Amino acid sequence: MHDPIQTIQHKGYTINIDYDPSPESPREWDDLSTIYSNSRRYDFDGHGIEELIQEVGGNIYDNVIPWDLIAKKYYYRKVWMYDHSGVTVRTAEENPWGSGWMAWDSGLAGVIVVDKKKAKKEWAKDTKARAEKWLDGEIANLDTYCRGEIYGYEVLDADGNEIDSCWGFYDLDECIAEAKGYADYDAEIQEKVVKAEASLPL
Protein backbone atom coordinates (compact mmCIF):
# COMPACT_ATOMS: atom_id res chain seq x y z
CA MET A 1 0.00 0.00 0.00
CA HIS A 2 1.13 3.54 -0.67
CA ASP A 3 -0.12 6.90 0.44
CA PRO A 4 -2.60 8.64 -1.86
CA ILE A 5 -1.21 11.52 -3.86
CA GLN A 6 -3.55 13.90 -2.06
CA THR A 7 -5.76 13.76 1.03
CA ILE A 8 -8.44 16.39 1.59
CA GLN A 9 -10.57 17.01 4.67
CA HIS A 10 -13.97 18.30 3.65
CA LYS A 11 -16.99 18.79 5.92
CA GLY A 12 -16.00 15.93 8.23
CA TYR A 13 -15.15 13.58 5.33
CA THR A 14 -11.74 12.36 4.22
CA ILE A 15 -11.15 12.37 0.47
CA ASN A 16 -8.24 10.37 -0.89
CA ILE A 17 -7.09 11.18 -4.42
CA ASP A 18 -4.84 8.72 -6.22
CA TYR A 19 -3.79 7.51 -9.65
CA ASP A 20 -6.16 5.05 -11.30
CA PRO A 21 -4.42 1.65 -10.90
CA SER A 22 -6.06 0.12 -13.99
CA PRO A 23 -7.22 2.85 -16.35
CA GLU A 24 -8.97 2.05 -19.61
CA SER A 25 -7.15 3.18 -22.72
CA PRO A 26 -9.02 6.00 -24.49
CA ARG A 27 -8.51 4.01 -27.68
CA GLU A 28 -11.14 1.61 -26.33
CA TRP A 29 -13.70 4.40 -26.60
CA ASP A 30 -15.92 4.82 -29.66
CA ASP A 31 -13.58 7.24 -31.40
CA LEU A 32 -14.07 8.57 -34.91
CA SER A 33 -10.43 8.15 -35.68
CA THR A 34 -7.88 5.43 -36.33
CA ILE A 35 -4.20 5.51 -35.45
CA TYR A 36 -1.87 3.87 -37.93
CA SER A 37 1.31 3.12 -36.04
CA ASN A 38 4.83 3.65 -37.28
CA SER A 39 6.17 1.62 -34.35
CA ARG A 40 5.97 -2.11 -33.66
CA ARG A 41 6.43 -1.48 -29.95
CA TYR A 42 3.55 0.97 -29.67
CA ASP A 43 0.58 -0.14 -31.74
CA PHE A 44 -2.36 1.75 -30.25
CA ASP A 45 -5.15 0.66 -32.59
CA GLY A 46 -3.76 -2.52 -34.11
CA HIS A 47 -3.05 -0.92 -37.49
CA GLY A 48 0.37 -0.37 -39.04
CA ILE A 49 1.36 2.54 -41.26
CA GLU A 50 1.96 0.10 -44.12
CA GLU A 51 -1.76 -0.73 -44.07
CA LEU A 52 -2.65 2.93 -44.58
CA ILE A 53 -0.05 3.40 -47.32
CA GLN A 54 -1.44 0.47 -49.26
CA GLU A 55 -5.02 1.63 -48.74
CA VAL A 56 -4.39 5.02 -50.32
CA GLY A 57 -2.42 3.58 -53.21
CA GLY A 58 1.14 4.17 -52.03
CA ASN A 59 4.13 1.85 -52.23
CA ILE A 60 5.30 0.49 -48.87
CA TYR A 61 8.76 -0.20 -50.33
CA ASP A 62 9.41 3.46 -51.10
CA ASN A 63 10.08 4.15 -47.39
CA VAL A 64 8.12 7.37 -47.85
CA ILE A 65 4.74 8.13 -46.36
CA PRO A 66 2.53 9.56 -49.17
CA TRP A 67 0.94 12.43 -47.25
CA ASP A 68 -0.65 13.82 -50.41
CA LEU A 69 -2.49 10.54 -51.05
CA ILE A 70 -3.57 10.28 -47.42
CA ALA A 71 -4.95 13.83 -47.57
CA LYS A 72 -7.24 12.92 -50.48
CA LYS A 73 -9.30 10.58 -48.31
CA TYR A 74 -8.56 11.61 -44.74
CA TYR A 75 -8.10 14.52 -42.42
CA TYR A 76 -4.99 13.60 -40.48
CA ARG A 77 -2.49 14.67 -37.87
CA LYS A 78 1.03 13.34 -37.49
CA VAL A 79 1.64 11.75 -34.10
CA TRP A 80 5.05 12.13 -32.48
CA MET A 81 6.41 10.28 -29.47
CA TYR A 82 9.11 10.91 -26.91
CA ASP A 83 10.11 7.71 -25.11
CA HIS A 84 12.56 8.13 -22.24
CA SER A 85 11.71 7.07 -18.67
CA GLY A 86 8.08 7.23 -19.75
CA VAL A 87 6.14 7.95 -22.91
CA THR A 88 4.47 11.12 -24.12
CA VAL A 89 2.74 11.74 -27.46
CA ARG A 90 1.45 14.79 -29.27
CA THR A 91 0.36 16.01 -32.67
CA ALA A 92 2.47 18.40 -34.72
CA GLU A 93 3.60 18.88 -38.29
CA GLU A 94 7.25 18.47 -37.29
CA ASN A 95 8.91 16.59 -34.43
CA PRO A 96 8.48 18.80 -31.33
CA TRP A 97 11.52 17.07 -29.78
CA GLY A 98 13.51 17.14 -33.00
CA SER A 99 16.41 19.27 -31.78
CA GLY A 100 18.98 18.68 -29.07
CA TRP A 101 19.50 15.53 -27.04
CA MET A 102 15.77 14.74 -26.87
CA ALA A 103 15.77 13.98 -30.59
CA TRP A 104 17.50 10.65 -29.92
CA ASP A 105 14.48 9.30 -28.04
CA SER A 106 11.76 10.74 -30.25
CA GLY A 107 10.25 10.22 -33.66
CA LEU A 108 7.14 9.77 -35.75
CA ALA A 109 4.88 7.31 -33.88
CA GLY A 110 2.27 7.23 -36.62
CA VAL A 111 -0.68 9.15 -37.98
CA ILE A 112 -4.21 9.60 -36.68
CA VAL A 113 -6.89 9.92 -39.35
CA VAL A 114 -10.60 10.42 -39.78
CA ASP A 115 -12.36 9.66 -43.05
CA LYS A 116 -13.52 12.86 -44.75
CA LYS A 117 -16.99 11.47 -45.48
CA LYS A 118 -17.41 10.45 -41.85
CA ALA A 119 -16.16 13.84 -40.69
CA LYS A 120 -18.61 15.65 -42.99
CA LYS A 121 -21.50 13.81 -41.36
CA GLU A 122 -20.20 14.83 -37.94
CA TRP A 123 -19.37 18.46 -38.73
CA ALA A 124 -21.19 20.02 -41.68
CA LYS A 125 -19.40 23.36 -41.27
CA ASP A 126 -15.69 24.09 -40.80
CA THR A 127 -15.19 20.36 -41.22
CA LYS A 128 -11.41 20.31 -41.64
CA ALA A 129 -10.65 22.59 -38.70
CA ARG A 130 -13.06 20.82 -36.40
CA ALA A 131 -11.88 17.37 -37.44
CA GLU A 132 -8.24 18.29 -36.82
CA LYS A 133 -9.15 19.77 -33.42
CA TRP A 134 -10.92 16.50 -32.60
CA LEU A 135 -7.85 14.48 -33.61
CA ASP A 136 -5.65 16.71 -31.45
CA GLY A 137 -7.99 16.08 -28.53
CA GLU A 138 -7.89 12.31 -28.99
CA ILE A 139 -4.09 12.33 -28.91
CA ALA A 140 -4.15 14.61 -25.86
CA ASN A 141 -6.28 11.97 -24.10
CA LEU A 142 -3.90 9.26 -25.24
CA ASP A 143 -0.97 11.29 -23.91
CA THR A 144 -2.66 11.57 -20.50
CA TYR A 145 -3.12 7.80 -20.52
CA CYS A 146 0.49 7.14 -21.57
CA ARG A 147 1.79 9.39 -18.79
CA GLY A 148 -0.42 7.64 -16.23
CA GLU A 149 -2.12 10.86 -15.16
CA ILE A 150 -5.61 9.42 -14.68
CA TYR A 151 -7.15 9.82 -11.26
CA GLY A 152 -9.78 8.52 -8.90
CA TYR A 153 -11.12 9.22 -5.45
CA GLU A 154 -12.36 7.54 -2.30
CA VAL A 155 -14.66 9.33 0.13
CA LEU A 156 -14.49 8.16 3.77
CA ASP A 157 -16.93 9.13 6.51
CA ALA A 158 -15.93 10.25 10.01
CA ASP A 159 -15.52 6.60 11.06
CA GLY A 160 -13.17 5.84 8.16
CA ASN A 161 -15.71 3.84 6.18
CA GLU A 162 -15.61 4.20 2.40
CA ILE A 163 -18.95 5.55 1.21
CA ASP A 164 -18.09 6.31 -2.39
CA SER A 165 -15.32 5.94 -4.95
CA CYS A 166 -14.92 6.67 -8.63
CA TRP A 167 -12.03 6.32 -11.08
CA GLY A 168 -11.08 7.25 -14.62
CA PHE A 169 -10.80 11.04 -14.34
CA TYR A 170 -8.54 12.64 -16.93
CA ASP A 171 -8.60 15.94 -15.05
CA LEU A 172 -7.42 16.24 -11.43
CA ASP A 173 -9.56 19.27 -10.63
CA GLU A 174 -12.66 17.51 -11.97
CA CYS A 175 -11.85 14.48 -9.82
CA ILE A 176 -11.56 16.59 -6.67
CA ALA A 177 -14.73 18.54 -7.47
CA GLU A 178 -16.68 15.30 -8.03
CA ALA A 179 -15.46 13.88 -4.72
CA LYS A 180 -16.36 17.03 -2.81
CA GLY A 181 -19.73 17.06 -4.54
CA TYR A 182 -20.48 13.57 -3.27
CA ALA A 183 -19.37 14.52 0.25
CA ASP A 184 -21.68 17.55 0.12
CA TYR A 185 -24.53 15.33 -1.06
CA ASP A 186 -23.99 12.77 1.69
CA ALA A 187 -23.68 15.50 4.33
CA GLU A 188 -27.03 16.91 3.21
CA ILE A 189 -28.64 13.46 3.40
CA GLN A 190 -27.24 12.84 6.88
CA GLU A 191 -28.47 16.22 8.05
CA LYS A 192 -31.99 15.38 6.85
CA VAL A 193 -31.84 12.03 8.65
CA VAL A 194 -30.81 13.69 11.90
CA LYS A 195 -33.61 16.26 11.63
CA ALA A 196 -36.15 13.56 10.83
CA GLU A 197 -35.07 11.50 13.82
CA ALA A 198 -35.20 14.56 16.07
CA SER A 199 -38.76 15.27 15.03
CA LEU A 200 -39.97 11.81 16.07
CA PRO A 201 -42.01 11.67 19.24
CA LEU A 202 -40.22 10.35 22.30
SS3 of residue 42 by DSSP:
coil
pLDDT digits (tens, 9 = 90+) for 28-80: 987 799 999 998 888 999 999 999 999 999 998 888 999 999 999 999 999 99
Segment 115-140 mean pLDDT: 96
Confidence of residue 1 (pLDDT cuts 50, 70, 90): low
pLDDT digits (tens, 9 = 90+) for 79-109: 999 998 889 999 999 999 988 777 889 999 9
Instruction: Yes or no: say if 155 and 163 are a contact pair by the CB < 8 Å rule.
Output: yes
Tell how strand 13-19 and strand 6-10 pair up.
Answer: antiparallel
Q: If you ran DSSP here, which 8-state letter would residue 46 be given?
A: S
Q: Is the dihedral of CA 46, 50, 54, 55 positive or negative?
A: positive
Whether 152 shows a pLDDT value over 90: the answer reads yes
pLDDT of residue 46: 93
pLDDT of residue 41: 84
Confidence of residue 202 (pLDDT cuts 50, 70, 90): low
Smallest CA-to-CA distance from 80 within 35, 28, 119, 29 is with 35
Those residues whose C-beta lies under 8 Å from the C-beta of residue 107, and which sit 6 or more positions away, are: 38, 80, 81, 95
Those residues whose C-beta lies under 8 Å from the C-beta of residue 62, and which sit 6 or more positions away, are: none
Give the Cα separation of 25 and 145 in Å (integer): 7
Give the Cα separation of 142 and 164 in Å (integer): 27
Length of the chain counted residue by residue? 202
Please, what is the average pLDDT of the chain? 93
pLDDT of residue 102: 73
Write down the pTM of the prediction. Answer: 0.86
